[in-house]
Amino acid sequence: MKKLKKKGRVGKTESGKLMLVNEEGQTFEADRTAVIIWDKCDGQVTSESVAKEISQKTLQEESAVREVVDRLVGEMEKVGLLESIE
């Protein structure tokens, strides 16, 4: 199972909204959920374990949380905010 490692950094826009910045300096506006998921990716977690943890903390159905986590992880991988490691 691939583990996820965050890349880049978190920041705020001039108006105070959260954003993620990849290593090339590209910025992406992000909601709190995306930042929480990104921050958990320390190279030791999988998308499955992140979804399970969020599901337990929020008391939401794991399958629904898993869909959101998978979508956000895929988007963050495409723009260089996450990398998959073995």
Number of domains in the chain: 1
Pull the structure tokens for residue 13.
């826009």
**DSSP label at 82?**
E
**41 in helix, strand or coil?**
coil
Asked if residue 85 is part of any domain, the answer here is no
**DSSP label at 28?**
E
Give the C-alpha separation, 79 to 61, whole Å: 28
Asked if residue 43 is part of any domain, the answer here is yes
35-69 pLDDT, tens digit each: 999 999 999 999 999 999 999 999 999 999 999 99
* Domain coverage including residue 67: 3-80
**DSSP label at 31?**
-
Q: Tell me the pTM.
A: 0.91
Asked if residue 70 is part of any domain, the answer here is yes
Asked if residue 8 is part of any domain, the answer here is yes
80 has pLDDT over 90: yes
Give the C-alpha separation, 29 to 24, whole Å: 15
CATH for 23: 1.10.10
Asked if residue 9 is part of any domain, the answer here is yes
Asked if residue 86 is part of any domain, the answer here is no
Alpha helices in the chain (DSSP H): 32-40, 47-58, 62-78
25-41 pLDDT, tens digit each: 999 999 999 999 999 99
Asked if residue 24 is part of any domain, the answer here is yes
